[in-house]
Structure 1
Amino acid sequence: MTVSEYLKQNTASYHDAAEKLFNSAKIFNKTFTLEDYKKIIHTNYLMLLHSEDKIFEELKDYSEKLKLSDRKKLPLIEKDLKSLLLEKSVADHELELISQHEALGAMYVIEGSTLGGNVIAKQLSKTEGFDGVTFNFFGCYHENTAAMWKNFKETIDAEVHEKKYDEVLSGAKKLYTFLLNVS
């Protein structure tokens, strides 16, 4: 089993909890509102604000392989905040990542949300009430979404030894827990 498969299997309950928190089912039956969208953007903003720099610092050795310079999302979600007239804020608790492996796990959560975000952006752009909404964060990779996900998965699957799977999982769980408790 690869580390990406291990993560998918062992974070499924966290993923489901996040979908429930954000009323994701409403996206596909077209009852998702602009207020629902503002909540998801604000929560993801706090997640990125408290994790992105830490993750990128831990993963500087992987900068080339992971194309880190193309994965910066905080400036994009800040544009979404501004366009939605949402205030910047900070979370009332910190996120601590103690290793490269934990940072890879946290990045797995963010990159996975980008994959799902692309689907969300396409769906919401066809939903009443979302005219003029810019999907800077959710549409960040545009037509390169699948390729960026594939690059991330292939890199971690090649780089992470089975002995370190639990450490990578720890990072993913930490970020999911942060996300679920910050909203």
Structure 2
Amino acid sequence: MVSEYLKKNTAEYHDAAEKLFNSDKIFKKTFTLEDYKKIISANYLMLLHSEKNIFNSLSENFSHKLQLSDRIKLPLIEKDLQSLSLENKSTSEDLKFSSENEALGAMYVIEGSTLGGNVIAKQLSKTEGFGEVTFNFFGCYHENTGLMWKNFKEILDHEVTEEQYSEVLSGARKIYSFLLSVN
């Protein structure tokens, strides 16, 4: 299954992102509002420079099956930026995906971050200093987070053949590399 292949082959990127964003502090309740602003800013840049390109790279088949209109996150994270009084920054380059499979790999990372973000939002909502924070991006699917992730993985695993795994992995690595470089 491509989802297991991606999980295994992007683990080093995932671990690097957790380290970069001080994720270990979340469960120790030492994560600060500045830490949160850093993670929101980086995810904003990632979405700003990839979401539209990912969605445009996917065929109507995937657009329908994945319910892309329900997975749009850029306007949600823009609300978080505004509520945190953060500036809408940009970088000089958009992320380009050379194929639908690369776009699916990038989407795997974004959807995975939504799954993890739901855990982050729940934990931080119990942390001192986060009482006024709205978790628009990290809480985007609300109680449907698990269902949306499961749906995404099932479609990915069903539609992507083993011959396409390396191309999907390329997209996942591309977006992780971008996320890790924007700080």
- Which residue does 2:180 correspond to in 1? 180
Question: Whole-Å Cα distance in 2 between the matches of residues 23 and 6 of structure 1?
Answer: 26
List runs of 5+ in structure 1 lacking aligned partners. none
- Which residue does 1:145 correspond to in 2? 145
Q: Is the 8 A contact 1:106 1:172 kept in 2?
A: yes
Task: Check if 1:57 corresponds to 2:56.
Answer: yes
Question: Whole-Å Cα distance in 1 between the matches of residues 108 and 58 of structure 2?
Answer: 12
Question: Whole-Å Cα distance in 1 between the matches of residues 134 and 66 of structure 2?
Answer: 26
How much does 1:93 deviate?
Answer: 3.6
Deviation per residue, 1:115-145 (Å, 9 max, x gap): 0000000000000000110000000000000
How much does 1:91 deviate?
Answer: 1.6
How much does 1:37 deviate?
Answer: 0.2
Q: Is the 8 A contact 2:76 2:137 kept in 1?
A: yes
Task: Check if 1:132 corresponds to 2:132.
Answer: yes
TM-score (norm 2): 0.98
How much does 1:97 deviate?
Answer: 0.8
Query: Which 4+ runs in 1 deviate beyond 6 A?
Result: none
Deviation per residue, 1:47-101 (Å, 9 max, x gap): 0000000000011421110010100000000000000000001024432211000
Question: Whole-Å Cα distance in 2 between the matches of residues 87 and 73 of structure 1?
Answer: 17
Task: Check if 1:88 corresponds to 2:88.
Answer: yes
How do 1:24-173 residues align onto structure 2 when only pairs under 5 Å count? 24-61=23-60, 62-173=62-173
TM-score (norm 1): 0.98
**Alignment-mate amino acid for residue 139 of structure 1:** G
Query: Sequence identity of aligned pairs in percent?
Result: 74
- Which residue does 1:5 correspond to in 2? 4
**Alignment-mate amino acid for residue 74 of structure 2:** L
List runs of 5+ in structure 2 lacking aligned partners. none
Q: Is the 8 A contact 1:92 1:182 kept in 2?
A: no
